[in-house]
Chain A
């Protein structure tokens, strides 16, 4: 679990340097919910290592414990057994080093878009001046295409725009790990595509290690370096891992036209249908 032995090693694939420093380490992770009829084991013996600057998507059937796993990484849900470490430091509760983009945008409806992003920025960049903090928040809102809506109340924004603010809020606090819990699940497919493009564009720039839960096979392939498939619960664990060797930056068109796209897709669908 120490970081020293993995530091500064890496591989070169498709002309891109891939760091192999372990950012997030899940070891023998277990989650048990006690019920009146005895313990319900959601996750058991779940091992997963996620490298620095890696984008991992997690796919699996509803109720298999994906969200449980993610909220355990976020520190919002206590661990029943095993370990979660970020850069070798065990996770003890939530913190801004792990930014979360929730399934519902979870903005404070009484605040403006800017105030929502500032809420996090003020917390993380305590020593910056007021103007600097504002500039950071505005920069990220600009990045998600909301430069005209700084002073709009969150409640006045559409779902898609709210989730854009959610993305800006998560990136603006410069987390070590970004956790995305089906962030586009409740959006229509057009908006979803737009937001995927926005997300991947910012991510290409910031390269924040990302773990994203999704139900959408195409989304999983388009965004990820690796797709992790989880078995159905109870006692869910990692079933299979698929490396996606597309070059970055990717465009939707280049991905769809890639020779391997349909074999990746088939692989995932075959896993999910068994």
Chain B
């Protein structure tokens, strides 16, 4: 998105210069290409440096743990055991590998194994559906519930669950915070009535919000055996994340430029027109800033909340891998970390694109 905008801008810049510089235009274009080439090279270089440092760091940690293991064997069991330990580590046997920060290559391998696993599970699921189709048709004909696939979720399913939870939470935050923000922004007395409430509940930790939502939802779902982990986690995410939007909306609405309000007064615009033609458009940039913060907070608290709520998302995945302690668990956690980061970044770009589409002052960066 950002790249698009800068390119367009450079295009306009050139169009403006063309009549002035005439025959030099090709040179300008070449400089332009050189500029973006340089940017790309710098980015690639910094990625390589990062991977290199990571590799060296993980190697150092690996050696430290391996040396400790060998030394321990030497001290406790003698030279033969130490030599056996050394051989075991060198052979790559999974039973004696140091369990530390994985190297970039290990993480890459884990990503591929997760994708392969996803393919296996998808095929398995398709086969199951195929096999059960006749039986399920019979069950439905008899008015009974069909048998569904209950095998473990693949990594892709887990990511999709997380994204679904974040969007549901974000939507909830939007539906609560924007209307309330507008109302308390318009009325100073309502603002002071709500102020203590906002100030007290804004800093509350995601974990506590989860517990609160759990108390309430558990009772609402009482006697219902269906899984409420998703409901609990998206409501908690929404409640944690809505504060930025609430505060920003209220601020945007209450601090509309006095000039605009004076114009509305001179023209004697009605209340409805004043709100929809003047106040809301002028506070849109702040509302969107709030929504962007909300979305990034939602994505950030999601991990902790999914973990607590046992919802089949990335949070639970990370925690289970950590508890699991298998040989490739650590590298799977790092894969999850990158996936979380990249999705968070993409979500933010998405919000920025929507913001630039609907609001009058464009801010492409940050």
Contacts and interface: CB of A to CB of B under 8 A. Distances in A.
Contact of B277 (A94, A109, A119): A119
Interface stretch (B12-20, B132-140, B266-274): B266-274
A96 B260 CA distance: 15
Interface string A96-140: 101110101010111100000001100110000000000000000
Given A110-B359, A153-B360, A74 B277 contact: no
A173 interface: yes
A267 to B, nearest CB: 34
B278 A123 contact: no
A102 B257 CA distance: 13
A194 B253 CA distance: 37
Nearest to A124: B267
A75 B266 CA distance: 8
A110 B259 CA distance: 14
Given A76-B262, A104-B259, A110 B360 contact: yes
B269 A123 contact: yes
A155 B262 CA distance: 19
B263 interface: yes
A173 B262 contact: no
Nearest to A74: B266
For chain B, give the interface size range.
10 to 19
B164 interface: no
B281 A76 contact: no
B282 A99 contact: no
Q: Which of B259, B266, B282 has the most CB of A within 10 A?
A: B266
Contacts of A90: none
B268 A155 contact: no
A95 interface: yes
A56 to B, nearest CB: 19
A76 B359 contact: no
Contact of B267 (A102, A111, A123, A153): A123
Interface residues of A, number: 24
Interface in A76-93: 76, 93
B360 A96 contact: no
A75 B282 CA distance: 23
A173 B267 contact: yes
A69 to B, nearest CB: 16
A119 B361 contact: no
A108 B282 contact: yes
Contacts of A153: 360
A106 B263 contact: yes
Contacts, number: 56
Contact of A96 (B267, B278, B281, B361): B267
Nearest to A106: B259
A106 B259 CA distance: 6
Given A102-B259, A106-B260, A155-B361, A95 B266 contact: yes
A151 B259 CA distance: 22
A95 B268 CA distance: 6
A120 B278 CA distance: 12
A109 B360 contact: yes
Contacts of A155: 360-361
Given A108-B260, A153-B360, A98 B266 contact: yes
A96 B268 contact: yes
Contacts of A75: 265
A108 B267 contact: no
Nearest to B277: A119
A97 to B, nearest CB: 10
Contacts of B265: 75-76, 93-94
A108 B262 CA distance: 12
Q: Which of A75, A104, A106, A124 has the most CB of B within 10 A?
A: A106
27 contacts: A74-B266, A76-B262, A76-B265, A76-B266, A94-B266, A94-B268, A95-B268, A96-B267, A98-B266, A100-B262, A100-B263, A102-B259, A102-B263, A106-B259, A106-B263, A108-B263, A108-B278, A110-B282, A110-B284, A110-B360, A111-B281, A119-B267, A119-B277, A123-B268, A123-B269, A123-B273, A155-B360
Interface of B: 259-260, 262-263, 265-269, 273, 277-278, 281-282, 284, 359-361
Given A108-B277, A108-B281, A109-B360, 13 more contacts: A76-B266, A94-B265, A94-B266, A95-B268, A96-B266, A99-B266, A100-B266, A102-B263, A108-B278, A110-B359, A120-B267, A155-B360, A173-B267
Q: Nearest 4 pairs between A and B by C-beta?
A: A110-B360, A106-B259, A94-B265, A110-B281
